[in-house]
């Protein structure tokens, strides 16, 4: 994906690669951190005894960052970039205006073909194709998604 404004083609590319990126994020997390971090727990408040307990950081310290070799630093940058793409795609779900579009978008992220989606929704393949174009248009026009993607492109 190029620098600058996010295009519908960029978003289509991202949707097609979503499942691959999720798997690659898990692999990179295992390589860098020895395990997987849970993206769904970001920003979740803790209460009671759990909130008072000390917690280790999943982020590497400055000393650890200095000891990383070139490959590990590249992997870390790649991990951060892929996480931002996946996050943007997951945030985009709530931006769609129609439940049917949300269903089609969810099916696309699951890797279903137009034909499979059409059968699932008892509609035509052409309707699914037109709906995907509308999904790409709605996501591409959203400033929040463009900000996330522009930041990750410039950072990576």
**pLDDT for the residue 44:** 44
| Spatial CA neighbour of 23 closest among 88, 83, 104 | 83
Please check the confidence at residue 30 and state whether its pLDDT lies above 70.
Answer: yes
Looking at the predicted structure, is the pLDDT value of residue 42 above 60?
A: no
Query: Average pLDDT, stretch 60-89?
Result: 82
Q: What is the pTM of this model?
A: 0.74
Would you list the domain boundaries of the chain? 8-36+64-155
Question: Tell me, what's the pLDDT at 35?
Answer: 81
Q: How many CA atoms lie within 13 A of 51 on its CB side?
A: 5
Name the token pair of 10.
């960029």
């Amino acid at each position: 994906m190029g620098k600058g404004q996010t295009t519908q083609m960029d978003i289509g590319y991202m949707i097609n690669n979503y499942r691959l990126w999720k798997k690659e994020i898990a692999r990179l997390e295992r390589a860098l951190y020895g395990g997987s971090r849970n993206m769904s727990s970001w920003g979740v408040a803790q209460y009671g005894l759990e909130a008072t307990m000390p917690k280790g950081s999943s982020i590497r310290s400055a000393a650890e960052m200095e000891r990383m070799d070139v490959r590990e630093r590249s992997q870390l940058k790649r991990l951060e970039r892929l996480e931002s793409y996946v996050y943007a795609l997951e945030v985009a779900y709530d931006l769609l205006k129609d439940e049917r579009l949300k269903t089609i978008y969810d099916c696309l992220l699951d890797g279903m073909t137009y034909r499979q989606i059409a059968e699932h929704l008892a509609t035509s393949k052409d309707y699914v194709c037109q709906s995907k174009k509308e999904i790409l248009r709605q996501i591409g026009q959203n400033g929040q998604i463009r900000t996330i993607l522009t930041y990750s492109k410039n950072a990576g």
